[in-house]
Amino acid sequence: MHKLDKIRKEYSKASLDISNVLTNPIDQFNKWFGEAMEAEVLEPNAMSLATVGSENRPSCRIVLLKGIEDDRFLFFTNYQSHKGKELENNPVCALTFFWPQVERQVRIEGSVTRVDDRKSEEYFQSRPLGAQIGAWSSPQSSVISGREILEERVKLIEKKYEGINALPKPHQWGGFQVEPVMIEFWQGRENRLHDRIEYRMVNGHWIMQ
C-alpha cells in the first residue's frame, strides 16, 4: 500500500509579495503563464474546470485554455457534453492551473457565456483535420457499446468529407468564455507558509489583497 502520508515536497523557488505583482490580474496571469512556458511546464494551458452538476453537486475535469480575449478565458468543447449542459444550466465555473515546475497555482472564478459561432468556427477549422473529424464523430458524454462505434463513425465522416481540409463546425460544438470575478495567485513556500494574493472584482474595479 502506498504511504500517501509520507509524500511531501518543500517549496522554495520563489516568493510572492503584493509589492511586486501587477495591478491587473490578467496581466499578472499572462506574466506567470509566460514564465511557466519558459520553465517547460507540460501543457501549461491545462486547467481543471469545475462546474455545478445535477443536484448541485460539483463536477470537475481537465480542459485546455485556448485564449484570453477581452479579459475572458476561452476554451472549446461539445455543448452536449456534461460540462456543456452544466454550464448552460448554471453559467458559473471555477478554473485552476497548477504549474509544479515553478511551484505555482492560479485559481479563477467567474461567469460563463458562449463564444459566438463565427469565432468558434474559425477556431474549429484551425484545428488538425483529425481533431475536426473527431469532434464530428464523438457523441461526447453518451454511453456507447464499444470503441468500434467511434471508429466506424470516423470512417463515415472521413468518407463524407473526403478531400476537404476544413470541415464545417458541428452545431453542438463551440467555445465558452469565462469572465473572472476572482483570481488568486499562489506561490509555494517553505513549511507550508505559502504566499497568496487575491484579486476580486468590486464595482467594476479589481481589488487586491
Contacts for 60-66: CB closer than 8 Å, 24+ residues apart: 65/95, 65/97, 66/123, 66/175
From 8, 57, 147, 192, active-site residue: 192
Question: Measured between alpha carbons, how far is 112 from 59 in angstroms, rounded to an integer?
Answer: 15
> What grid cell was written down for 162?
473526403
Residue 61 bears catalytic tag: no
Q: Count, in order, helices (H) and strands (E) of the chain.
A: 5, 9
Amino acid at 192: R
User: What residues are annotated to the active site?
Assistant: 192
